[in-house]
Structure 1
Amino acid sequence: MEETGRTTHTLAALMELRKRILNGDFPGGTRLFEVPLAETLQISRTPIREAMSRLAEEGLLDRLANGGFIVRSFTFADVMDAIELRGVLEGTAARLAAERGVEAEKLRQVEEVLSKLDACFGRTAGEVDFEAYSDLNARFHGLLVELSGSAVLQREIDRATRLPFASPSAFLSDRTNIDIFRQSLHVAQEQHRALAAAIGAREGTRAEFIAREHARIARRNLEYVMVENPDLILRVPGLALLNA
């Protein structure tokens, strides 16, 4: 019972600290101290320490040589590189899936997710269920990695997408319900279907190209925010950590 309680407190601390970091409450370079955080969150120091260790594994915090943690900051190039890396890794996963072949049942699961993604678009132009699309999009990308049959790729893609701005759903929260992002979802869904078709047809080179091109949608959305409309930075999870 005692262990369960500590796990619950660690999870609560983890979720709260992650939210505050991503919202920009703790800017990059901020040193986090256990005692003040424990008092603020009304959680003992051990779960706070464990939560900060988890956030360091996620890449949101850095460990200091003399102990403690500091909030990481990122450059625009860091974010672009992270998105590019995800595209390369997912492209490799798509190529392997196509080359190795995929069971009919797995392809049926992909088609089911794609049909549900189609249903996220309303009858009115520009109407999109962002919350449902975000969840289903994450499911599609998860299935894509599974189709490769590579535990190594699975591990590396998980690592690459821990940073919130590099995840496939970085621009899909309700807070980013912005016209240009809504428009990009139609292109993204067309690419989802083309990617699934290429894998089913065992066209490895084409599948890899589509997956890498698909990641570039996130790059274009990021450029729109950073270059054309920086007022939107706080509406995209994690971009508050950018060191402009």
Structure 2
Amino acid sequence: MSKPGQRVLAALRQMILSGELTAGERLAEIPTAERFAVSRMPVRLALRTLAQEGLLERSGARGYQVRALTGADLEGAVEVRGVLEGLAARQAAERGLNAATRATLEDCLRRGDRLFAKGHVRLEDLEEYHDLNRAFHQAIVAASGNPAIGLALGRHEHLPFASVSALAVDAEDLEREYRRFNFAHLQHHAVFDALVRGQGARAEGIMREHAQATLGYARWFGGEEGEAGAVRVLV
């Protein structure tokens, strides 16, 4: 997806989760494109992606509407992803990392270190983090040697925030977002350490906590948990 498409996608996710876009509210391509000052194509792809993730549902022939979500919906989806990715991390640690996988993970960590070393983030930094985060998670799933995990995650991605690619960003509070994303990056370092040491149980626990922290950030950094509109999500 193009950079404009990623920006629209992340902004719409955040608007849904913050309650700015309420359950049942309709979204159409032209007014949404005008709202973000982009062409219709990135909006079309963003709306389609949000529907695949379970945040929107079809409304009429061409439009979408915001799906009604509860905190339980989000918690259940994230918990299942944590179980699957935790299993992948445990099996990857037990099998051992090959040189190519280790190099991929180390590259993701180095890129993240550079992003956070300056003590703040811009929206462009978070777009780069989105890409390296996805690569990091996908490498661990592949390293498990268990194709069933990837298949299960693929089927699970239609649930709200069950996909590692589902990134919500609060552009109005990038200081807070720095703390959230940096925390997640430190967890990446921790799980990598467990993987290279062959500590399967530890790697599994960190990955499950990594997913659960998606919901916990709101509480740790001053937000509230409960209904979907009160939850800010990072994956």
Q: TM-score, normalised by structure 1?
A: 0.65
Q: C-alpha displacement at 1:89, in angstroms?
A: 1.4
The answer for the alignment partner of 2:121 in structure 1 is: 128
- For structure 2, the 5+ residue unaligned runs are 34-43
After the TM superposition, which residues 1-244 of structure 1 pair with which residues of structure 2 at under 5 Å, given as runs? 23-24=15-16, 27-30=22-25, 37=28, 56-62=51-57, 71-123=66-118, 126-129=119-122, 130-131=125-126, 132-162=128-158, 163-164=160-161, 167=164, 170-172=167-169, 174-175=171-172, 177-179=174-176, 181-223=177-219, 224-227=222-225, 236=232
The number of residues matched between the two structures is 212
* Structure-2 change in CA distance of 1:83 and 1:176 (3 Å): farther
What amino acid maps onto 2:15 in structure 1?
Answer: N
Tell which deviates more after alignment, 218-227 or 109-118.
218-227
Looking at structure 2, the residues matched to 227 and 175 of structure 1 have their Cα atoms a distance apart, in angstroms, of: 19
- For structure 1, the 5+ residue unaligned runs are 1-11, 42-48, 239-244
Q: C-alpha displacement at 1:186, in angstroms?
A: 3.6
* Structure-2 change in CA distance of 1:172 and 1:146 (3 Å): farther
1:63-119 residue CA offsets vs partner (Å, 9 max, x unmatched): 69xxx9753111112122222222111101101111223211211111111111111
Let me know the Cα RMSD of the aligned residues. Answer: 4.3
* Structure-2 change in CA distance of 1:221 and 1:55 (3 Å): closer
Q: C-alpha displacement at 1:142, in angstroms?
A: 2.1
Looking at structure 1, the residues matched to 115 and 10 of structure 2 have their Cα atoms a distance apart, in angstroms, of: 28
The secondary structure found in structure 1 opposite 2:97 is coil
Looking at structure 2, the residues matched to 175 and 82 of structure 1 have their Cα atoms a distance apart, in angstroms, of: 27
> Percent of pairs identical after alignment?
32
The answer for the alignment partner of 1:3 in structure 2 is: none
Query: Is the contact made by 1:21 and 1:27 (CA closer than 8 Å) also made in structure 2?
Result: no
Q: C-alpha displacement at 1:166, in angstroms?
A: 6.0
What amino acid maps onto 2:223 in structure 1?
Answer: V
Q: TM-score, normalised by structure 2?
A: 0.67
